[in-house]
Amino acid sequence: MSDTASPAIKKKLSCAIVGATGVAGQQFVEGLQGHPWFTITHLFASERSAGKVYKEAAVWHGEGSHPADIADMVVLSTDDIEREAANIDIFFSALPSETAREIEGRCAAFKPVISTAAAYRYDDDVPILIPEVNADHALLIRKQKERGWKGFVVPGSNCTTVGLAIALKPVMDNFGIKRVIMTSLQALSGAGYPGVASMDILDNVIPYIGKEEEKVKKELVKIIPGTYLVGATCTRVHVRDGHTETVTVETEKPCTPESFMAAVVGFNKKCREQFGPLPSAPNETIVLADGVNRPQPRLDRNTHNGMATVVGRIRTEDVFPNSISFVLLSHNTKRGAALGEILTAEYLYKQGYIA
């Protein structure tokens, strides 16, 4: 995280975390510690946790213990959102999808909502925003005023989609895409807590994750519009953090490993120019890994604080006329969750979408 705040930032935003006691909410808590633009002022959770201080309401799943500055903050009920909205600049939602649509809509009636949930992800007036990939989609936010909201909802993508979309952006911009075939090897943390039973995953690979493949296909063409085809196979492996994906891309124009890597260099340069001043932006959005045995989750998932997509094993593929294959790694609980959404909030604040 950069130490330099943009000169356009006049004051810190007061932020609320909705669903603060769960694992996803705790990731927002960790990601916002010491943030130069945002400060946590409100924590919301279910009635079961309301009225308790945070260290009593939330069983901490991160490293260490509850951050000292909010350990004794009282958790409010989601029923209190309307009463407190005037004192909040932005809501970060870590709600489960089954409750997110109703509660996020109530928040958006007053203020911007940045979410990890899928509840609004596929609505026509809602962008699935990854700033380096589709910043122009933020314009969709204006259409949400037609709902009668003073704010808006912007969800992030599924954690499996984000690294794939980032890696494919320079391909689409420089060579065009005809089809994508991806197989994921997804970390255990992507299943939430308590996740997959140890006796199911130990010494094993689970070759199916419910609804995951459908999400990847639907989200990718919304984030990077086009008429290309997407095939996806999503599996769960015995890795704690970091989604690894093997990708084959058929391109419209000839694409060699060398031309792809040159396109990545140009993409990174453009990202630094446009997003470099944002506190959570990585130094390189795509890191090209050295050696045929990289990327690896244990070695590479925390590259640039887990915000970079690491790409390696780039090679020509003979199965299609113009095609390359590569392996990518993306940190699912950082770039694919809270830290990625914090970066989105930074971008929207800098661009004036968040007052």
Classify residue 72 by burial, with Cβ atoms within 10 Å: 0-12, 13-18, 19+: exposed
Q: Residue 157 is inside which H or E element, if any?
A: none
Calculate the CA dihedral of residues 339, 341, 347, 348 and round it to 10 degrees.
Answer: -150
β-strand pairing of 286-288 with 309-316: parallel
Query: Residue 210: which residues within 8 A CB-CB, separation 6 or more?
Result: none
Query: Residue 102: which residues within 8 A CB-CB, separation 6 or more?
Result: none
Classify residue 5 by its DSSP letter.
P
Cα–Cα distance, 78 to 47 (Å, whole number)? 7
Cα–Cα distance, 351 to 349 (Å, whole number)? 5
Residue 267, classed as helix, strand or coil, is: helix
Supply 345's token pair: 């909030």
Residue 261, classed as helix, strand or coil, is: helix
Read off the amino acid at residue 98. Answer: E
Of 183, 121, 160, the closest CA to residue 309 belongs to 160
Residue 148's CB: how many other CB atoms inside 10 A?
8
Q: Residue 213 is inside which H or E element, if any?
A: helix 212-223
Cα–Cα distance, 249 to 322 (Å, whole number)? 8
β-strand pairing of 177-186 with 229-236: parallel
Q: Contact at 8 Å (CB) between 287 and 344?
A: no
In the sheet that holds 286-288, the strands lie side by side as: 229-236, 177-186, 243-251, 323-330, 309-316, 286-288
Question: Could you list the active site residues?
Answer: 159, 243
